[in-house]
Amino acid sequence: MAHTLVNPEGLHDPVPFGYSHTAAVPAGTELVLVSGQYGSDPDGAVVSADFAEQVKRTFHNIGVALAAHGLDLGHVVRLRTYVVNHDGAKLGPIAGAVREIWGTRPPTQTLVGVASLATPDMLFEVEALAARP
């Protein structure tokens, strides 16, 4: 892993919410940026109207994108997450997926509530930044 995650004392524990407060990437590390992925099949169609299913498929798709660079989800340093009509009930599926993938070492993450995304059936989209060791 090319990065270090730190959750400093004096700040709340963010891990149960599915993120870490800080990440450091050493100089000279190659960064891979993944554009916004969503819960789509290989043809671009949204796989389900169910929010939790879209979350799960979105992270799968990020993994596919990273694999094209010889990386996996463990290399992710930062996520930027977009949620249509965000409310507290949507945090559970997101945090659950993050825990399933990253355990107690989630990447940094910013969640942004939005009115809509590129198509009306998209409920969830994530950009990722990964670091190659």
Burial of 115 (C-beta count, 10 Å sphere; 0-12/13-18/19+) = exposed
What is the per-residue pLDDT for 1? 64
Contact indicator for 62, 128 with CB cutoff of 8 Å: yes
Angstrom distance (rounded) from CA 62 to CA 42: 12
What is the per-residue pLDDT for 3? 93
The arithmetic mean of pLDDT across residues 69-75, rounded, is: 97
Euclidean distance between the first and the last CA atom of the chain, given in angstroms as a whole number = 6
What are 117-127's pLDDT values in tens digits? 999 999 999 99
**Domain over 27-132 is classified CATH 1.10.1200.30:** no
Q: Supply the mean pLDDT for the chain.
A: 96
pLDDT band at 116 (very low <50, low <70, confident <90, very high): very high
The arithmetic mean of pLDDT across residues 15-37, rounded, is: 95
- Domains of the chain, by residue range, sit at 27-132
What are 39-57's pLDDT values in tens digits? 999 999 999 999 999 999 9
Residue 88 CB contacts under 8 Å (≥ 6 apart), including other chains? none
The arithmetic mean of pLDDT across residues 73-91, rounded, is: 97
The arithmetic mean of pLDDT across residues 65-77, rounded, is: 97
What is the per-residue pLDDT for 121? 98
The arithmetic mean of pLDDT across residues 18-24, rounded, is: 95
